[in-house]
Amino acid sequence: MKKHNFSAGPSILPDSVIKQAAAAVLNFDNMDLSLVEVSHRSPQFDAVIKKAQKLTLELADLEGKGYEVLFLGGGASLQFLMLAFNLLPENGKAGYLDTGVWSKKAIKEADIMGESVVLASSKDKGYNYIPKGYNIPEGLAYVHITSNNTIFGTQIKDFPNVDVPLVVDMSSDIFSKKLDFSKFDLIYAGAQKNIGASGTTLVIVKKDILDKTKRTIPTMMNYQTHISKDSLFHTPAVFSIYVSMLYLQWVKDLGGVVEMEKINDKKAALLYDEIDNNPNFIGFAAKEDRSPMNVTFNLTDASKAERFNKLALEAGIHAIKGHRSVGGYRASIYNAMPIESVQVLVDVMKAL
């Protein structure tokens, strides 16, 4: 029976990407060597990472606009601290929008390096909405936002206009829709949700925002270190970067982020329509802030949970349990999720 994988991460990958990656594990680039044993400094892998970087800039429409693309380790969680090391001067202040667990973790790391200023928070309602109409004070080194909140199922629809670097954690919705990516000075995203396998983190940084803090930055934490060595300062996650390259090519072949957005909108509309029209379910996130990537919902009658769970299991539905801090259910319908799998979930909801 086919599994329908709604995991929030590590998450579903396109079938074609899995097949190509599996073949490369056995024999990479006709080298008679496995992908996981080739040197990261070999010309074959050099071609992989350069293609991944080029595809990233193409999909973001940032070619020739002064941006560098890095594939780093440590997940988005390391970026919480790394970006502060590179952008926040000693005794400096940075603005943070508090929209959930991941933004709170980013705020905690920024406070190690300087001072975070919480611009607004949706904590008062359990993070089920995105704050709006907040003021941005002067004197900030940068403004940080989390574009999509995986746990709570909310997404920022309108990004603030600021006159300081705008930093965004796009781990769970990068390349899911068309954006003016040039609005952002630094973008980071753990690959395992929407552009690849776990083990690497994508960073897109505008080079001219660096080297302005006048603080000493540890070698490994300095973006300039990794830019100068083309993400090869130390041994990178070769397999994960290869999978990301395949995934980015898959998005491009589909028609890029414009076509990806159309597909994602159809999937989200299908599932949210069922939640709104089926009396057995209720959505968690405020309607105007709903995420098309992570759909959070609950049963209106908890006594039906056992039957619903059984129906879902029998249909091959995997990983729809909600995060422990929210409860209920969460269906992550990232770029690679086919609409057919969403339809299976909707059919199970109708059958309850």
Catalytically active residues are 102, 169, 193
Max Cα distance, the chain (Å): 62
**Residue 29, number of CB atoms within 10 A of its CB:** 15
Q: Distance (Å, rounded) from C-alpha 321 to C-alpha 330? A: 6
Q: Distance (Å, rounded) from C-alpha 25 to C-alpha 184? A: 36
Q: How many CA atoms lie within 13 A of 126 on its CB side?
A: 13
**Rounded (10°) angle between helices 238-254 and 43-60:** 40
Any idea of the CA torsion for 26, 244, 62, 101, to the nearest 10 degrees? Answer: -160
Pick from 164, 121, 160: which is nearest to 142 by CA?
Answer: 164
Amino acid at 57: L
Task: Give SS3 for 181.
Answer: helix
Which two three-digit tokens encode residue 58?
């193409």
